[in-house]
Homo-oligomer: A and B are copies of this chain.
Amino acid sequence: MAFDEVETPFGQSGRIIGGSATYVAYAAALFGDDVKQVSIVGNDFPEAELEDLKSRGVDVEGVHKVSDKPSFYWKGKYHLDMNTRDSLATELNVLADFNPIIPDSYQGAEFLMLGNLVPAVQKSVIQQLKVKPKLIVLDTMNFWMDSAWDDLMDVLKLVDVLVINDSEARQLSNEFSIVKAAKKILAMGPNTLIIKKGENGALLFKDDKVFFAPAMPLDEVFDPTGAGDTFAGGFIGYLAKTGDISFENMKTAIVVGSALASFCCEEFGTSRLKTVTMKDLDARLNDFVQLVNFDISLNA
């Protein structure tokens, strides 16, 4: 959980609430009031934001509040393509010594989403859980591939699903072909791999199976910050709600994640996620069906 400041071709966000865990929580909470948040915030983090999360059914007992330091802060500027960005400022602040403690009341959680963070910290969360979750999903990024390769390899062996973007998949596997990259990565530990391609959708790989979910073509991508985390939150939230972790159900889950991510891009930060309803999601899922649904009648 963090402060972000975002500049896009459409304007400036000012200082707003962001952070991987925030987006994941808002997205997952759409599917039930049993989301348990683990994170760290500083003395500048507004209590009202935690109340907002609580009002959506997110338990924030595991959000550690540090009294003598500010929250993590990131400032970024998007290029015209809205797919690439420059980081203008990154202040770790409280995140520098984040040592998450899992509250007792969180034990028994069946679905665990590990947002992008130091691999050793992600591992410590897994190790604190007394009962192995039904599904562990992990996000990571190129930074950890450069700086904490061994720890990353270590935690990858403990997770079921890895969620990364295409350039991260290429770096992790040292393969340019996404299909070859997926095969190599699936040999590193996770049994399922999701490769996000931004406005070009997402691929789901398991064994020799592959599924593709497009991104919804939008009139305007207003702010893509958090879209990947929203996607992951929608994915795991849908799986947790249905309790079904089959490949077939994961297909639907990444379409759900993709649909929620499209809402995220419509406004700065978490604004749209705070208001999105199941009815909105249903309508957009119908748009997705229209977007990809076709008849094969080759011999007609």
Measured CA separation A251–B293 after assembly (Å):
8
Cβ < 8 Å to B, chain A residues 23-79: none
Chain A, interface size: which category?
Answer: 35 or more
Interface segment, A99-107, A212-220, A223-231?
Answer: A212-220
The yes or no answer to A176 lying at the interface (CB within 8 A) is: yes
Contacting residues, chain B, for A251 (C-beta < 8 A):
293-295
The yes or no answer to A90 lying at the interface (CB within 8 A) is: no
Q: A178 to B217, Cβ gap below 8 A?
A: yes
Measured CA separation A285–B298 after assembly (Å):
9
Q: Which residue of B lies closest to A242 (CB)?
A: B300
Whether A211 contacts B291 in the complex (CB less than 8 A), given A218-B179, A221-B177, comes out as: yes
Measured CA separation A211–B287 after assembly (Å):
10
Contacting residues, chain B, for A297 (C-beta < 8 A):
242, 252
Q: B252 to A296, Cβ gap below 8 A?
A: yes
As for how many copies of this chain the complex holds, the number is 2
The yes or no answer to A96 lying at the interface (CB within 8 A) is: no
- The 8 Å CB contact of A177, one of B219, B238, B248, is B219
The yes or no answer to A89 lying at the interface (CB within 8 A) is: no
Measured CA separation A72–B295 after assembly (Å):
39
Contacting residues, chain B, for A164 (C-beta < 8 A):
none
Q: B256 to A298, Cβ gap below 8 A?
A: yes
List 7 A-B pairs, Cβ < 8 Å.
A197-B200, A213-B292, A251-B294, A252-B297, A255-B296, A278-B298, A281-B298
Could you tell me which A residues sit within 8 Å of B by CB distance?
9, 80-82, 176-180, 197, 200-201, 203, 209-214, 217-221, 238, 242, 248, 251-252, 255-256, 278, 281-282, 285-286, 288-298, 300
